[in-house]
Amino acid sequence: MVKTMILTKQYRCIHSSSCQCTKGHLSEDVIFLVFQQLNWNPKLIATLSCVCKWFDDLAKRVLWKEFCRTRAPKMMLDLQSSGSHSVDGNWRALGKLLIYCSGCTKGGLFNNINIPGHFVYRTRFSRTSGKSFLLPQCRTDVLYVSDPCEHLDQGDEGDVGFFRGIFKSFSMSKVRKMLIKRKAQLHPTEVCPYCKAKLWSMQQAEMIPQSASCRLGAYDDCIEYYVCLNGHMLGICTLLPLSDSEEASELE
């Protein structure tokens, strides 16, 4: 009897006094099924989160996780395979990373230029591609990086590409160790657009290998990226004109 009482789910909103759901919430199972039917629509998950803390908690704990699993199943399996909890609790940040190109603001992370952030329908993240963004001595780390999101003809900046990514078990990665060993500075004002944590500049730490710009088809000296304390990565580059990069790859 005592046991069943403890296991009884609490459907009333117990998290916030401002909540309107005084008659209790739908059961988690019902919400799960509804959102499954909606194919874990991210905009609706975000809307639901705004209702009250109970829904927000459910979204963070369950719905964003299913969203990530559905959109990037192989990557999710891999990110969780080490038994690391680094993904846990950050499902919403990861969900946003999958579908949102953060752009940049003038005077922000990437100086000079203002390109608004936007949602993207679908982005490919590649572990193989991620290797190109790691120094040789860090290549046992696992990093997934997206193809560049192209913003062409940005005036003086030319063709701009944004890319983003995530480390597996960042807290145990060689990159993190090296950043700390090199006493890399955290950016004084800007934070990760996905999880709001502080950011390390890989450029300042001199940890950007040449292979990164090759991979992106970008100019050598026009690439920059940051990694946040939770292992999200975001970067910018200036893309080579298509004909040049094609020639370059033919020479390889």
Closest approach, Cβ 250 to Zn ion, in A, equals: 28
Q: Rule CB under 5 A: choose which of 13, 166, 218, 240 binds Zn ion.
A: 13
Q: How far apart are CA 174 and CA 126, in angstroms?
A: 19
Q: Tokens 């690391």: give the residue.
A: 84
Mark residue 242 as left, alpha or beta (left: phi above 0; alpha: psi -120 to 50; beta: remaining).
alpha
Q: Rule CB under 5 A: choose which of 31, 46, 52, 62 binds Zn ion.
A: 52
92 touching Zn ion, by CB under 5 A:
no
Closest CA to 45 of 8, 80, 12, 94: 94
222 touching Zn ion, by CB under 5 A:
no
149 touching Zn ion, by CB under 5 A:
yes
Those residues with Cβ within 8 angstroms of residue 26's Cβ, 6 or more apart along the chain or in another chain: 11
Run of H or E residues at 31: helix 28-37
Number of alpha helices (DSSP H) and beta strands (DSSP E) in the chain:
11, 10
21 touching Zn ion, by CB under 5 A:
yes
Run of H or E residues at 6: helix 2-7
Q: Rule CB under 5 A: choose which of 68, 195, 212, 223 binds Zn ion.
A: 195
Q: Rule CB under 5 A: choose which of 58, 143, 192, 227 binds Zn ion.
A: 192
Residue closer to Zn ion (CB basis): 94 or 240 = 94
Q: Which residue is nearest to Zn ion (CB)?
A: 13
CA angle 124, 104, 152 (to 5 degrees): 65
Residue closer to Zn ion (CB basis): 114 or 137 = 114
Q: 154-157 contacts: CB < 8 A, separation 24 or more? A: 154/113, 154/115, 157/112, 157/113, 157/238
Q: Rule CB under 5 A: choose which of 45, 48, 49, 54 binds Zn ion.
A: 54
19 touching Zn ion, by CB under 5 A:
yes
Closest approach, Cβ 93 to Zn ion, in A, equals: 6
Q: Rule CB under 5 A: choose which of 49, 86, 230, 238 binds Zn ion.
A: 230
Residue closer to Zn ion (CB basis): 3 or 121 = 121
From 5-13, 69-77, 106-114, 121-129, give the range in contact with Zn ion by CB under 5 A: 5-13
Binding site for Zn ion (CB under 5 A): 13, 19, 21, 52, 54, 101, 149, 162, 192, 194-195, 197, 228, 230, 232
